Amino acid sequence: MRRTIAPVVAALSLALAGPVRAHGNDASHGAATAEPADGKPVATEIAAVRRKAPDARAYFTDLEMQDQHGRKLKFYSDVLAGKVVMLNFVYTSCEDACPLITQAIVAVKDQIPEIFGKPVHFVSISVDPVTDTPERLREFAAANRADVAGWTFLTGDPDNVTHILKKLGQFSEEREAHSTLLIAGNVPAKRWSKIRPEAPATAIAERLRALAAAGVQARVRE
């Protein structure tokens, strides 16, 4: 099984570099809910983005995307702005890791009913936009119990998708080699974490609660 290293998103200090599991034939790749060997959560908090960092809208871009219902969305303004998000990367013809990880993320959703949808949103971005039409994304979401309010599946013009994946440090020339890393962030508070998909659902849920609380704490300090 091949490992990839995500580039550092230097302009926003997201520091997403590190070994990331990619698609392969190893059955363990799909064990998205496996307990870590040491029993400790594997979510790693990323340093907060400094206030002097480049404007987030300019960095992430407002390139047009489409969701699973065919709606046109601006990536930053409509998908990220003002939210706590957890991003992952899929393609609908995948028969192993993508469905398993999506189902694992459903288990995370079920752990956080009090914050899912507001402020926490899940975003699944297709790494195969040529094949993954909104209809195919909607079918994939429905098949994996993920077609719910608060969870957006994104596709779009391949050039736009490629550009956004590169901004997130998650672009791969081959869809099968794409990263399975989860990227979670409190966008307005400028706090980000990288999370391995095999972390327990309870650990990921706690990381999302902490990120959601970060925005409240920031407002109190102000």
**166 pairs with which residues across the strands?**
none
The helix-helix angle for 201-221 and 97-111 (nearest 10°) equals: 50
Domain 55-221: state its class.
alpha beta
Indicate the range of 24-28, 55-59, 75-79, 89-93 predicted with least confidence: 24-28
C-alpha 220: how far from chain center:
27
Q: Higher pLDDT residue, 82 or 23?
A: 82
Contacts of 103 (CB under 8 A, 6+ apart): 32, 144, 145
- pLDDT recorded at residue 54: 60
- Decide if pLDDT at 39 tops 80: no
pLDDT digits (tens, 9 = 90+) for 125-180: 999 999 999 999 999 999 999 999 999 999 999 999 999 999 999 998 888 889 89
Q: How far apart are CA 10 and CA 207, in angstroms?
A: 23
Of residues 118, 185, 187, 127, the one with CA closest to residue 148: 118
Query: Strands, DSSP E only, in the chain?
Result: 3-5, 19-21, 44-45, 64-67, 72-74, 84-90, 120-126, 151-155, 182-186, 191-195
- pLDDT recorded at residue 158: 97
- Decide if pLDDT at 205 tops 90: yes
Percent of the chain with pLDDT over 90: 67
